[in-house]
Amino acid sequence: MTRLLITRRLPDSVMAAARDRYDVTLREAPGPLTAEEARAALADYDALLPTIGDALGADAFGGSPRARIMANFGVGVNHIDVAAARAAGLTVTNTPGAVTDATADIAMTLILMTCRRAGEGERMLRAGRWEGWHPVQLLGRDLGRLTVGIVGMGRIGKAVARRCHYGFGMEVRFYNRSRVPHPGVPAHQIDTLEVMVREADIVVLAVPATPETRHMIDARVLAGMKDDAILINIARGDVVDEAALVAALQEGTIGGAGLDVYEREPEVPQALIGMENVTLLPHLGTAALSVREAMGRMALDNLAAFFDGREVLNPV
């Protein structure tokens, strides 16, 4: 029977489906797979079902791995050296599509919480500091009057654009490396990131984590944003130079930030935690049961296709 390692517990329905077909080992240790564990797993199992943070760098693929496929649970594969995996004879798949709407919803959560100062208000109330309604208390920003600039107009970027434009009446600008003839909403594609951030009141990051996008948002880009603009990150933490972001917020270069991802997860800089104009979420982008079940089913579908001798559904 095909031996499958699942690196972290998945929803019960996914675990049951996996066990119906494979000899499943569930790694019970907390946190991501370590580099040492990854090397051993690739030597011992026919397939791995890893997820974000698992240490599957180039050094994991030395020798002659037994494993032939890694069906990643998630869209992002920046934790996997895909080139090294392919060179070692492994197929790598991911789970696009299943995460689109849930991730876009988290973008809107961050936009609303940051622009309307909801986190700040909740902290005030829970601390017993709320003294009742006041005409100038916690005045935020009216989304219908704002322009959103989206960095990356793929599935998630388009879903955010639909919510912003049709849900709140926002003007939409976007930056994408290739031309996007049909963004799905009335929108203007801007040729350079620097120009786009100058025009946006809210900048939403929706790009994959790649060597090209690492620190895409650096001190120079942040300096070009409006001084009351909000940065929203639902992509990956290292798309933003976190030290530069902290400095920009401390110096008032930008107005605030809403973050669901961080450069060194689960570490979050204390400077960010202490800022009232920053909304912080613990990587909730796909945290809905139906979404995580769909991701698991997609990963299992990729495994089934591979071991049945068919083309995998979602090759990376």
Of the candidates 201, 198, 177, the residue with the CA atom closest to the CA atom of residue 189: 177
Alpha helices by DSSP H, listed for the chain, are 12-21, 35-44, 82-87, 100-115, 118-126, 155-162, 168, 193-199, 219-223, 242-251, 270-273, 289-307
d(CA 266, CA 272): 13
Which pLDDT belongs to residue 60?
93
pLDDT one digit per residue (tens) for the chain, 316 residues: 999 999 999 999 999 999 999 999 999 988 899 999 999 999 999 999 999 999 999 999 988 899 999 999 999 999 999 999 999 999 999 999 999 999 999 999 999 999 999 999 999 999 999 999 999 999 999 999 999 999 999 999 999 999 999 999 999 999 999 999 999 999 999 999 999 999 999 999 999 999 999 999 999 999 999 999 999 999 999 999 999 999 999 999 999 999 999 999 999 999 999 999 999 999 999 999 999 999 999 999 999 999 999 999 999 9
d(CA 74, CA 296): 9
Which pLDDT belongs to residue 120?
97
Hey, what amino acid is at 109? Answer: T
Which pLDDT belongs to residue 240?
98
Of the candidates 191, 116, 117, 119, the residue with the CA atom closest to the CA atom of residue 149: 191
d(CA 168, CA 202): 13
Contacts of 130 (CB under 8 A, 6+ apart): 121, 124
* Catalytic site residue from 21, 265, 293, 297: 265
- Predicted TM-score (pTM) of the model is 0.93
134 as an active site residue: the answer is: no
* Catalytic site residue from 236, 242, 263, 292: 236
- Residue 286: how many CB atoms within 10 A of its CB? 22
Which pLDDT belongs to residue 243?
98
- Helix (H) or strand (E) holding 70, with range, is strand 69-71
**Letter string b/e over residues 87-97, b meaning 16 or more CB atoms within 10 A of that residue's CB:** ebebbbbbbbe
In terms of residues, how long is the chain? 316
265 as an active site residue: the answer is: yes
Of the candidates 50, 61, 71, 85, the residue with the CA atom closest to the CA atom of residue 305: 71
Q: How far is CA 78 from the centre of its chain?
A: 11
Q: Could you tell me the CA-to-CA distances from 54 to 70, 111, 116, 220, 241 in Å, in that order?
A: 12, 29, 36, 31, 22
198 as an active site residue: the answer is: no
Full set of structural domains in the chain with CATH: 3-98+288-307 (3.40.50.720), 100-280 (3.40.50.720)
Q: What is the DSSP letter of 45?
A: -
